[in-house]
Amino acid sequence: MSKKIVAVFSSREQAEKAANELRQNGFEQEISVVTKDNNQRNNDQSFMDMGTGDTVTDGAATGATWGALGGLALGAGALAIPGLGPIIAAGPIAAALSGAAAGGLGGALIDMGIPETESRQYEEEVRQGNTLITVECSENKVQKAKQILQNSGANRIKEH
């Protein structure tokens, strides 16, 4: 049975570290990242750059890369979500968000199986400038994912 792990980070740098570490440990298509787009992408590509020229979307379900044109890519990129404003999304959640713009981030998380109350709280945390990482994995990989997220500085980690 598949489990979903949601982690909240107060900084993009911590989230970048977590995404990179997860990828290095065999989590590829399972990782999603959502963060508020504060127009820093044009000046600071480091969040999307994983140190090898790769990006957090490489290996994700879209197989897309952010590229140099403001971070837009097929299946991942900047989205405007009503009530939340501009965000950057990568991985499987990007597709869920593009299909659920009216329901916002909370609606997309509910569709992914996260309880409504918690989904709305995660949406509020992103609105406040935090970065959200979700990992969907088998039960035998849950502890490894949670350990990586914790070691990378997640403020809160919840298994669903």
Mean pLDDT of 48-62: 37
Question: What is the per-residue pLDDT for 95?
Answer: 77
- CA 25 to each of CA 20, 49, 86, 108: distance values in angstroms, whole numbers, following the listed order: 9, 18, 30, 26
Pairing of strands 156-159, 2-9: antiparallel
Mean pLDDT of 121-125: 95
d(CA 146, CA 152): 10
Mean pLDDT of 114-121: 94
d(CA 130, CA 14): 10
State the pTM of this model.
0.76
- CA 35 to each of CA 2, 13, 104: distance values in angstroms, whole numbers, following the listed order: 24, 12, 13
CB 5 within 8 A of CB 127: no
CB atoms within 10 A of CB 28: 14
Q: What SS3 state is found at 32?
A: strand
Residue ranges per domain, the chain? Answer: 2-159
